[in-house]
């Protein structure tokens, strides 16, 4: 894009941004070390000292310090965002390391929050980092978000995506969104003034288990770097009020062919939260909204521990151990007594199963198998249980010879 073409967008984009501190930008000072650190920004006419002051005054909440949160956090910190809050409650696992570049081999087992803040503080000690070592929930989300100008969504599950969206709509904060799966990525800005929100694009969540997450379907390690950097770029543009943000434009990325395309998305006047007559006026139970069982008692009755299944097999009990993963996953590692019928083929191959026999269903971590259990129950199977934690939990509690992935 030519420079004169780029400037066409500037007047309208200055009306779209985030509300920063009321302190005049001229009063925000930089130490000599900061001025040297940011001088390549400050000599840009689109940024300059005033723009860098806006970055220093900005407060960004990063939900998730994983695949997307790693590159987004690195570049937001390097850019000089004044305050970065990070929400995460997980620990670093070896399976994270091919994509979650905030963490290293020596961090395995550590809190992701500790690891992330150590890395980011080394990148830029002039940034204030705020720890939120907790699950982002309906009970705490509004309180956490209150101290920030925008949210960068680095989550990987539907309940939290809807939660982040609704928090942003209800509080008037932009939602810098990204998602990844295998070779495919998406990025946009939701909940900006006049623009669409996540519910405009996805009014209802998919049925539980029908859409695999990265742990089940995999992700190219480089892809979150690509999408997370785009999210950081959009956040910085919103703070600077520069360029043309991804508002009303869903950027679709195919890393396998390295093609980028856009889909225009508009605010839906009938949207349940940002429409003309909203029906959602407060945060809800997002686990329940997405169809995920919330009852611990029900889960205990429905699920069975791997060690219990191993005991049944050792006793020679008659049961069907149904593996609903994909063939390539089955080749990585499987339970010797199991049979493979991928999730999408179960209904078509129902004749291969005995409805009168106890059937224990497994997948990688328990999500897809839970969906298949419900399918089997609807088809008349009475003795169906879900292997808790899937093949991954079997590997850690029963047979460590089965590779984890």
Instruction: pLDDT tens for the chain, 405 residues: list them.
Output: 333 333 223 334 445 556 555 556 667 899 999 999 999 999 999 999 999 999 999 999 999 999 999 999 999 999 999 999 999 999 999 999 999 999 999 999 999 999 999 999 999 999 999 999 999 999 999 999 999 999 999 999 999 999 999 999 999 999 999 999 999 999 999 999 999 999 999 999 887 666 666 666 788 999 999 999 999 999 999 999 999 999 999 999 999 999 999 999 999 999 999 999 999 999 999 988 887 754 433 444 689 999 999 999 999 999 999 999 999 999 999 999 999 999 999 999 999 999 999 999 999 999 899 989 999 999 999 999 999 999 999 999 999 999 998
Query: What is the per-residue pLDDT for 210?
Result: 63
Cβ partners under 8 Å of residue 53, min gap 6? 25, 26, 28, 30
- pTM, two decimals, is 0.78
Query: Among this protein's residues, is 290 annotated catalytic?
Result: no
Catalytic pick from 274, 290, 363, 373? 363
Catalytic choice (200, 214, 274, 290): 214
| Cα–Cα distances in angstroms (integers) from residue 326 to residues 84, 136, 238, in the given order | 39, 31, 41
Active-site residue flag, 274 = no
Phi, psi of 181 (to 5 degrees): -165, 120
Tokens 């929930």 map to which residue? Answer: 137
């Amino acid at each position: 894009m030519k420079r004169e073409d780029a400037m066409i967008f500037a007047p309208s984009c200055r009306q779209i941004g985030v509300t920063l501190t009321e302190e005049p930008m001229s009063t925000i000072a930089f130490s000599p070390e900061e001025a040297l650190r940011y001088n390549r920004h400050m000599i840009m006419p689109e940024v300059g000292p005033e723009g860098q002051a806006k970055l220093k005054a900005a407060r960004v909440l990063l939900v998730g310090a994983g695949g997307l949160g790693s590159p987004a956090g690195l570049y937001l910190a390097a850019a000089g965002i004044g305050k970065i809050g990070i929400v995460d409650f997980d620990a670093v696992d070896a399976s994270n390391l091919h994509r979650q570049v905030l963490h290293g081999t020596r961090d395995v087992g550590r809190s992701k929050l500790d690891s992330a803040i150590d890395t980011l503080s080394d990148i830029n000690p002039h940034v204030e980092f705020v720890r939120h070592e907790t699950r982002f929930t309906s009970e705490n989300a509004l309180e956490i978000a209150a101290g920030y100008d925008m949210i960068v969504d680095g989550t990987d599950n539907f309940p939290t995506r809807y939660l982040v969206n609704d928090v942003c709509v209800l509080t008037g904060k932009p939602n810098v969104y990204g998602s990844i799966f295998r070779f495919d990525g998406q990025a946009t800005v939701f909940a900006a003034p006049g623009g669409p929100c996540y519910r405009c694009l996805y009014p209802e969540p998919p049925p539980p288990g029908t859409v695999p997450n990265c742990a089940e379907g995999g992700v190219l390690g480089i892809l979150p770097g690509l999408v997370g950097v785009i999210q950081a770029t959009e956040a910085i543009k919103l703070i600077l009020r520069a360029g043309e943000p991804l508002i009303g434009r869903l950027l679709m990325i195919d890393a396998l062919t390295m093609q980028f395309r856009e889909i225009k998305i508009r605010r839906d006047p009938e949207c349940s939260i940002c429409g003309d007559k909203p029906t959602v006026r407060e945060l809800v139970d997002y686990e329940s909204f997405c169809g995920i069982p919330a009852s611990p008692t029900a889960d205990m009755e429905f699920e069975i521990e791997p060690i219990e299944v191993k005991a049944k097999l050792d006793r020679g009990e008659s049961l069907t151990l149904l593996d609903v993963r994909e063939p390539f996953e089955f080749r990585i590692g499987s339970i010797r007594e199991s049979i493979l019928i991928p999730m999408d083929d179960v209904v078509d191959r129902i004749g291969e199963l005995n409805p009168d026999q106890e059937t224990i269903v497994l997948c990688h971590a328990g999500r897809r198998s839970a969906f298949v259990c419900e399918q089997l129950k609807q088809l008349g199977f009475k003795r169906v249980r879900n292997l808790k934690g899937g093949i991954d939990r079997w590997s850690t509690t029963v047979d460590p010879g089965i590779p984890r992935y």
